[in-house]
Amino acid sequence: MTPNVKLLDFFASWCGPCRMMKPIIEEIEEEYKGKIALHKYDIDENQEEASKHNVMSIPTILILKDDKVINQLVGAQPKANIVEAINAAL
């Protein structure tokens, strides 16, 4: 069964705060394997996806449930904030 909760991670390789978030996102990916679907989008390579979701700054994390955005975290976030948003969606 495909998870109905998705985490969309919008970042850029040149972005300092995005690089800080990378290990946190990787930890979450491991901890929530099979529970959520994680999609990573480098905005330089995925401008269409970023504009589709109205991403104006990076890093931006969107939490979707049943393909509807239910939470948006903009800027570098502590892991606890992201985990809280995911748990609220599950």
pLDDT in the model for residue 3: 80
Instruction: Please pick, among 7, 8, 18, 50, the residue that the annotation labels catalytic.
Output: 18
Task: With a cut of 90, say whether residue 67 has pLDDT above it.
Answer: yes
Per the structure, how many domains does the chain have? 1
Instruction: Please pick, among 5, 7, 8, 15, the residue that the annotation labels catalytic.
Output: 15
34 classed as catalytic: no
Task: With a cut of 70, say whether residue 2 has pLDDT above it.
Answer: no
Find the mean pLDDT for residues 6-29.
98
Find the mean pLDDT for residues 14-32.
98
pLDDT in the model for residue 88: 96
pLDDT in the model for residue 1: 59
37 classed as catalytic: no
Q: Which residues of 33-52 are buried (b: 16+ CB within 10 A; e: fewer)?
A: eeebebeebbbeebeeebee
CATH of the domain at 13: 3.40.30.10
Enclosing domain of residue 74? 5-89
Tokens 């049943």 -> residue: 66
Mean pLDDT of the chain: 96
Find the mean pLDDT for residues 4-10.
97
pLDDT (tens digit per residue) in 71-86 = 999 999 999 999 999 9
